[in-house]
Structure 1
């Protein structure tokens, strides 16, 4: 059964099992109340492929943080690089849990046969009455990345990472008593950083040197944008990409250039 089939199985299964006959025959507002609230996470592998993960909250607590038949979908793929929710030491691509609770935390497992650049991003929130914050906690560096604003990007070496990454909903839900929590800004301080902010459709580029020029290429190498004479260390560029899912962004400074694959 493929990923899409599992997705529909969980969504429709969650709605079916969580509604009693009395509720099913009630008003549309009652049905809407019982709709799962969905958090969609994308993991970009070193080879550029994307794993879609789904976390669903059942407002009537029909599911739990453990394994629930009809709500959780095992990861049955055998990719050389992958990421999954970890429930009872097993890998899942879909996890259904109880009502949303900002103090809860949900571990992720990363499995890499290849070293390279990875990205963890918030793709979409669905059915929340009010916006929520979604953080990725990195236990090794003791950092929280606000995925609503920044994609987590890092060059990783091959290996299995089972106790490092956790999805949380506030910066105090996971902490390391031996270190001060770093802000999102601290976490993203690098010599050069390239991030696409999906919420605002902006390309954000920062460097510790003045950026002289930015170029954007599609995945087959055709240049689709060029922005010269910037001469700033931080630059935000409105960027509406309709046809391209992936691209290459090049930043030029007086010290050379930096290229990065970006998911638009």
Structure 2
């Protein structure tokens, strides 16, 4: 029996099972991660977050998507971890270092500087990433941004009208994106970005922190909004601040749902 505690948290409905493995370095397999994330047979979450010891930061955050695949970054999870640990926290991810600070309602995190080079997204071949000369059906002229993980962003007249449940999985696995991609559709009203996200390895989500960051940066670069900008997602609102050449700051609420204990050996 391998019993251990976990926290269930969410940021705007983007939910996580957070396991602190610093006292006990035990590895989860992709199969186990997917079993834990399963909504009917497991605990249920968009991502399994495993906290580990780090030589470079206060904690290292390992991130498994609901399909069991490991990914580089998750902004909402970083906010939840910062809130859970309290005060100022540095978090190592495979996508880079993140610093966070708990606030009254949640946390603010420094997501680092975005990348725009085609091979940093990455794309399969060179092209302009602010106005990409590609499209899928009615989704045309996207931008691409890497914020620790890859995002493609489409600005449309009304994001609620896009069949993202159909187009998202098609674009996610397109050969243009060798590491797959998160798909964002957004429209702008005044200084608010309205966003929906198809997250690779998860599907449609109520919120995606890195998607909000990438979309806000793309909107600022295209002159559609100015910093700071409110990004409205199905689960609620995030505040994103970014100036050319600087880091992205993301602020928003977090919720601690409950603490539990389980036998990890029963999964997978």
Q: TM-score surpassing 0.5?
A: no
Higher percent of residues as strand: 1
TM-score, normalised on structure 1? 0.27
**TM-score, normalised via structure 2 length:** 0.27
